[in-house]
Amino acid sequence: MGTITDDEVIRKRLLIDGDGAGDDRRINVLLKSFIKWCHSNVTPEEGFAQYQRMLGSLSQCEFSMGKTLLVYDMNLKEMENYEKIYEDIEQSISAAHEKIAECKKEIQRAKRIRKNRQEYDALAKVIQQHPDRHETMQQLEALDKELQHLSQIKENVEDKLELRKKQFHVLLSTIQELQQTLKKTRGSMRGSDVMSPAYPHETLITASVMPCYACVLSSAGGSYQI
């Protein structure tokens, strides 16, 4: 058995496979065999054998053509399937982009809500540090009552002070009248050398009156100058 070369192996594979240039080669061989068979002068047995070989080659060509048509139809269906898959992928990508955009909006909304909550919490903490309105109103009412009470006390003190001033004025007037009376009495009395002067009596009266006036002013909460 002779050695089979690489070219023969490739040629046989092309003839069996029917792809590439093998189909054309097979058709050319069949055509040459048919022409040769038509112009040959052989015995009927040899002619029938050649005829059978041509039918086999023709069957192989038909089989290869059918196979090619099936592969072609399969490729068309695969292309349609790939186009459908491509459209589905495009739709999925578009839906994913829309979903991502919606998620971004949701994230922004969540961030804004979180920021508002943090601001509300900080504001609530500040508000809790101050008394409520009811307590504040009670404190204001208490301060108002205390202010009215202090105003009343001030008015009472001023009235008392005014009264003490008037009383002291009357007292001074009485002292002056008493001094005038003492002077007249001293002038009308006899024996001026034996009698002691009235001035010490006047000094004694004035000195006894002034501490009483200071006590009156201290009790009234005011001051007065002579």
**3-class secondary-structure state, position 194:** coil
Q: C-alpha angle 24/30/36, rounded to 5°? A: 135
pLDDT at 225: 42
Question: What is the rounded CA–CA span in Å between residue 129 and residue 164?
Answer: 51
**3-class secondary-structure state, position 215:** helix
Q: What are the tens digits of pLDDT across the range 51-97? A: 787 777 777 777 877 888 888 899 999 999 999 999 999 999 999 99
Question: What is the rounded CA–CA span in Å between residue 101 and residue 116?
Answer: 23
Burial class (CB in 10 A: 0-12, 13-18, 19+), 164: buried
Question: What is the rounded CA–CA span in Å between residue 202 and residue 172?
Answer: 12
Q: What are the tens digits of pLDDT across the range 5-36? A: 767 766 665 555 545 445 666 677 777 777 77
pLDDT at 138: 87
* Comparison of pLDDT for 213 and 44, the residue scoring more: 44
pLDDT at 24: 64
pLDDT at 124: 87
Q: What are the tens digits of pLDDT across the range 89-138? A: 999 999 999 999 999 999 999 999 999 999 999 988 888 887 777 888 88
pLDDT at 112: 94
**Rounded-to-10 torsion of CA 164, 169, 171, 176:** 170
Average pLDDT, the chain: 77
